[in-house]
Each structure stands twice: as structure tokens, then as C-alpha cells.
């Protein structure tokens, strides 16, 4: 039974049509369909009815408060849903946060082709129809040493396309140790089935020798495939057939040796002491006939699947009808071209491509950035937070370089007046959300994935979260 006070509060709740007359709602009625505004008003009233029924001593909202709630929800309805967030997780390639952040040049390239007509499929020299792939193919050939290249929507599509065009109805030999599942739902075995290729597993989880491939060869064999074990490592007693061995074997049979490289690096990070990934150039030199990798992982570009390798095989991929259904748009091509251009000068690549720059930030730089960030936040919110700088580890992420941990210095934050869960939630609700990592009862912000220019905004989002 509602109390006397609750009954009165319920009685004071206005009817929808009364609330619709408030002047705060007038601009919304002009801008949006009437049903949307009516719905927002109805929802605000219904929500307050529930709150009143759960709370015996409640006063109930004023008309102004109800109108403000309806306006709030209309704002949420009309604001962009997909928007920037500040990545304080220290995971450089965070798939849920959009993976690679593009360089300035790549972002500008997207804007230029968005604002104007372009020569997307038009050869300016001859004045005839051209191919959209030409803009990046030359660059890819030059940078990787491959004979030819093709770009599709993402690497999952690239793998699918290679299998379905070159191995449909045939056997594809893969090492058991490489039958990986990546992220959401990319499983080598399922992609294989969908593409019409027949998976032949050889070897054991930790050891596969070239003899295992040789013994599995039949008249039905259409491809030898190697898959990068992106998100895990098998340690200890392991053995794999080398690329040279696989290439030689494939050549004897006149079938392709295809490698799904996953991330694919053009800049040799191992020379800077990070990980042990062979570069794309090295994999091709070692004999891979076809290689595929993502545009938005270690390359640091837009989402894309890049296939490079022997011209005879790439030509067959290009000629297939289905290539059309995987084709990339002009924004992707513009951003990819700009990203690849940076690599013509490795120093420029490291300076301009955020993915590389973030991976290569050194401990001194990170320590000083952490101090600046902590100072900023402290100055903005004062005593509301307890802040400390602690050594920690960042990750490359995106299923790239499993096991590689990059030393960093994080700002570790414990709120004094609200709970950690509340702080973390409120930061996600801020106009510019901040996403960090919760560890040891504190919120960690890693300056590896934040830029100095972002710090004032991080502080502003903290002020919002703490309602200061």
C-alpha cells in the first residue's frame, strides 16, 4: 500500500499533454516527430512513478524537473552514438575502442575524398575508367617487395576470399597448432568450411614438421596454409615447419603457400627490442606465395584486409566475381594510401602513425607524461581523488604480439567520496568518455594510449564524473 505521501506525489505527477505544453519542449516539437517527444515525456513520468512507489517518503518531481528529464533523453536520442572516447587502458590496438588511431595525414585524406569528387576509378592520364585498387597497389608492391596486391574489407574477408577462390573443393593442409580462434568468431576451421575448402590437420598442438605436410599431400591438395597464432603462444617444447620448407613443398606441387599473418608489420619492431614478429617483407622473402594481414592492427591504418604475393595468384583473386562484394570504399583507400606513404620513410612512419608512436614510447617519456596527467587531474578535482603514479605494463592488443608486455607508468586513482565502480561508470557517461583499467581497487590510466593534448579533456571528464 502506498503511504499518504506517496499517493500525493503520484497525484501531483502531470498528464503527458500538460507536460508537453512546457516551453522547454517547444523546440523539440518543432524539430522531431511529435510521437518521439510524447514518448520521452511519457517515459519521464513513468520512471518517476516507479521511483515514487519505491520510496515511501518521496516528494515527487517538479514540472521543471520532469521536463528537464524528458529533454535529457531527447538530447541522448539526437546526439551521435558513435563518438570519440579517451583510451586510458594502455592497450594500443583495442578492438572494442576502434583499433588503430589514424595519422593526421590519413584523417585529412578521408576528408578530402569525402568533400569532393575523386579519381577513384578514373585514370587521369588517359581519361578512361580505372581501378580503385591502383592507388595503393604500387605502394604495397614497393613497400613489401610483392609482385601484386589486393585490398578487401578486413583480414577475415581476405582469408575467406583466398580460400574460396583458390581452394574450394580442395584440401588445405594446416598445422594443428595453428587452428586458432580469434576475437569474436573468427575460427580457422569454420572459415575453411564456409569457403568450401577441406581442412586437413597435421602434426600435434606443439610440434609439426615438414614431413607431416609431405605425408598429407594427395592429388586433392590445393593449398598449404600457415596461420599466425595471434592471441596465444605455445611455450616450451615446440617445432614448426619453416616458411622456406613450406614454400619449396608448395612449389613442387604447383599449389600456393598462403600465410594468414594476422597483424602484419611493415616497420621492423624487433630491431627496437619489441616482440619477434617477422616483417611482411621477410615473410615474402622466405617464400610465402600469398600473405594476408589487417590494415588496422600493427600497420596503424584503416580497417582493411591486405593480400600481397605472386601476381598469378592475385590475378585469380582479382578476376573472381566475389571480389566485388568485399570491395573497400574510397575512405578506406584514402586512409590506407596516406598510411602506407608514411612507411616510405621509416622515421616518418614512427613519428606520424599513432600505433607505432604509442608502442615505441619509452619509459622516461611515459613517466613524465604520467606526472603531467596526474598533476592535471589533481589540480582540477583537488581532494576528491587519491592519486599515485605506479609502474605497470601496457599491451599491444588486437591479437598482435601475444605475451609482449611494454613497461609503462600509470596514474592510479582511488576516489575518496564515491565508490570506484561509480567513478568508473560516471567517467563512461561523460560527454567525452574516459575508459581506464580497474586493478587492485584503483582505476589505472596509462599515458601510452593518451596524448598530452588529451590531458585537459581527461581532467574535464573527471570533473564531470565527480560533479564538481
Q: Which residues bind ligand PLP (CB under 6 A)?
A: 154-156, 159, 182, 186, 227-228, 230, 260, 262-263, 294, 305, 399
Nearest CB to ligand PLP, comparing residues 133 and 293: 293
Cell of 284: 615474402
Which triple of cell numbers denotes residue 394? 601496457
- Cα separation, 130 vs 278, in Å, equals 34
* Smallest separation, CB 157 to ligand PLP (Å): 7
Closest-by-Cβ residue to ligand PLP is: 262
- The minimum distance between CB 156 and ligand PLP, in angstroms, equals 3
Rounded to whole angstroms, the Cα distance separating 167 from 220 reads 10
As a whole number of angstroms, the distance between CA 15 and CA 432 comes to: 35
Going across the sheet that includes 405-415, the strands are: 91-93, 385-397, 405-415, 442-445, 437-439
Q: How far is the CB of 70 from ligand PLP (least distance, A)?
A: 41
For the bound state, the minimum distance from the C-beta of residue 370 to ligand PLP, rounded and expressed in Å, comes to 30
Measured from the CB atom, the residue of 402 and 433 that comes closer to ligand PLP is 402
182 or 338: whose CB is closer to ligand PLP?
182
155, 294 contact by CB (below 8 A)? yes
| Cβ proximity of 22 and 67 under 8 Å | yes
> What are the angstrom distances between the C-alpha of 339 and each of 101, 350, 386?
11, 11, 40
Q: What's the min distance (Å) between Cβ of 185 and ligand PLP? A: 10
| CB of 95 or CB of 320, closer to ligand PLP | 95
Going by DSSP bridges, is the β-strand pair 290-294/257-262 parallel, antiparallel, or unpaired? parallel
- Residue with Cβ nearer ligand PLP (155 or 355): 155
Render the burial of 330-363: b for 16+ CB within 10 Å, e for the rest. bebbbbbbbbbbbbeeeeebbebbbbbbbbbbee
Gap between the Cα atoms of 36 and 129, Å rounded? 47
d(CA 149, CA 292): 10
Cβ proximity to ligand PLP: between 260 and 424 the closer is 260
Distance of closest approach, residue 152 Cβ to ligand PLP, in angstroms: 9
Going from the C-alpha of 85 to that of each of 95, 101, 427, 453, the distances in angstroms are 13, 11, 10, 14
3-class secondary structure per residue, 145-206: CCCEEEEECCHHHHHHHHHHHHCCCCEEEEEHHHCCEECCCEEHHHHHHHHCCEEEEECCCC
Q: Which is nearer to ligand PLP, 228 or 437 (CB)?
A: 228
List Cβ neighbours of 164 (8 Å cut-off, separation of 6 or more). 194, 195, 196, 197, 322
In terms of CB distance, is 99 or 341 closer to ligand PLP? Answer: 99
CB of 18 to ligand PLP, least distance (A): 52
CB of 198 to ligand PLP, least distance (A): 19
**Considering the complex, what minimum distance in angstroms separates the CB of residue 237 from ligand PLP?**
23
| Nearer CB in complex with ligand PLP: 98/433 | 98
For residue 347, the minimal CB distance to ligand PLP (Å) is: 27
Between 275 and 399, CB nearer to ligand PLP:
399
Burial (0-12, 13-18, 19+ Cβ within 10 Å), 176: middle
Helix%, strand%, coil% for the chain, nearest 5? 50, 20, 30
Nearer to ligand PLP, 48 or 155 (CB): 155
Nearer to ligand PLP, 230 or 380 (CB): 230
Contacts of 106 (CB under 8 A, 6+ apart): 301, 302, 334, 335, 336, 338, 339
For residue 210, the minimal CB distance to ligand PLP (Å) is 21
Q: Minimal distance in Å, beta carbon 87 to ligand PLP?
A: 18
How far is residue 413's CA from residue 224's CA, in Å, rounded to a whole number? 51
Euclidean distance between CA atoms 338 and 340, whole angstroms: 6
Amino acid at each position: 500500500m502506498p503511504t499518504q505521501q506517496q499517493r500525493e506525489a503520484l497525484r501531483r505527477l502531470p498528464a503527458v499533454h500538460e507536460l508537453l505544453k512546457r516551453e522547454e519542449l517547444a523546440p523539440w516539437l518543432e524539430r522531431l516527430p511529435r510521437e518521439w517527444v510524447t514518448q520521452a515525456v511519457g517515459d519521464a513520468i513513468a520512471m518517476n512513478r516507479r521511483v515514487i512507489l519505491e520510496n515511501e517518503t518521496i516528494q515527487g518531481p517538479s514540472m521543471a524537473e520532469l521536463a528537464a528529464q524528458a529533454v535529457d533523453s531527447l538530447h541522448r536520442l539526437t546526439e551521435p552514438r558513435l563518438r570519440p572516447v579517451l583510451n586510458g587502458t594502455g592497450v594500443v590496438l583495442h578492438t572494442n575502442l576502434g583499433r588503430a588511431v589514424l595519422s593526421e595525414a590519413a584523417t585529412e585524406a578521408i576528408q578530402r575524398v569525402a568533400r569532393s569528387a575523386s579519381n577513384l576509378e578514373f585514370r587521369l592520364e588517359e581519361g578512361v575508367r580505372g581501378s580503385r585498387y591502383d592507388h595503393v597497389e604500387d605502394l604495397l608492391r614497393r613497400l613489401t617487395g610483392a609482385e601484386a596486391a589486393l585490398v578487401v574489407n578486413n583480414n577475415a574477408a581476405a582469408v575467406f576470399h583466398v580460400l574460396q577462390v583458390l581452394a574450394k573443393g580442395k584440401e588445405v593442409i594446416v598445422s594443428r597448432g595453428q587452428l586458432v580462434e580469434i576475437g569474436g568468431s573468427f575460427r580457422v576451421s569454420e572459415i575453411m568450411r564456409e569457403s568450401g575448402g577441406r581442412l586437413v590437420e597435421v602434426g600435434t598442438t606443439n610440434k609439426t614438421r615438414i614431413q607431416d605436410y609431405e605425408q598429407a599431400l594427395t592429388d586433392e591438395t590445393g593449398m598449404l596454409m600457415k596461420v599466425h597464432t595471434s592471441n596465444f603462444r605455445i611455450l616450451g617444447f615446440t617445432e614448426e615447419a619453416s616458411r622456406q620448407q613450406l614454400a619449396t613443398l608448395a612449389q613442387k606441387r604447383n599449389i600456393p603457400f598462403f600465410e594468414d599473418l594476422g597483424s602484419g608489420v611493415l616497420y621492423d619492431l624487433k630491431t627496437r627490442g619489441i616482440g619477434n614478429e617477422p616483417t611482411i617483407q621477410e615473410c615474402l622473402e622466405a617464400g610465402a606465395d600469398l600473405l594476408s594481414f589487417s590494415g588496422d592492427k600493427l600497420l596503424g591504418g584503416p580497417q582493411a584486409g591486405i593480400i600481397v604475393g605472386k601476381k598469378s595468384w592475385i590475378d585469380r583473386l582479382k578476376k573472381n566475381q566475389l571480389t566485388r562484394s568485399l570491395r573497400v570504399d574510397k575512405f578506406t583507400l584514402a586512409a590506407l594510401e596516406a598510411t602506407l606513404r608514411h612507411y616510405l620513410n621509416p622515421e616518418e612512419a614512427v613519428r606520424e602513425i599513432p600505433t607505432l608512436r604509442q608502442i615505441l614510447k619509452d619509459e622516461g617519456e611515459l613517466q613524465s607524461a604520467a606526472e603531467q596527467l596526474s598533476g592535471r587531474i589533481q589540480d582540477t578535482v583537488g581532494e576528491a581523488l587519491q592519486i599515485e603514479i605506479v609502474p605497470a605494463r601496457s599491451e599491444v592488443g588486437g591479437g598482435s604480439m601475444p605475451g609482449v608486455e611494454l613497461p609503462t607508468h600509470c596514474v592510479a586513482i582511488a576516489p575518496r567520496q564515491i565508490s570506484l565502480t561509480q567513478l568508473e561508470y560516471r567517467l563512461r557517461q561523460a560527454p567525452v568518455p574516459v575508459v581506464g583499467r580497474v586493478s587492485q581497487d584503483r582505476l589505472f590510466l596509462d599515458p601510452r594510449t593518451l596524448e598530452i593534448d588529451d590531458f585537459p579533456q581527461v581532467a574535464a571528464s573527471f570533473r564531470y564524473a565527480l560533479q564538481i
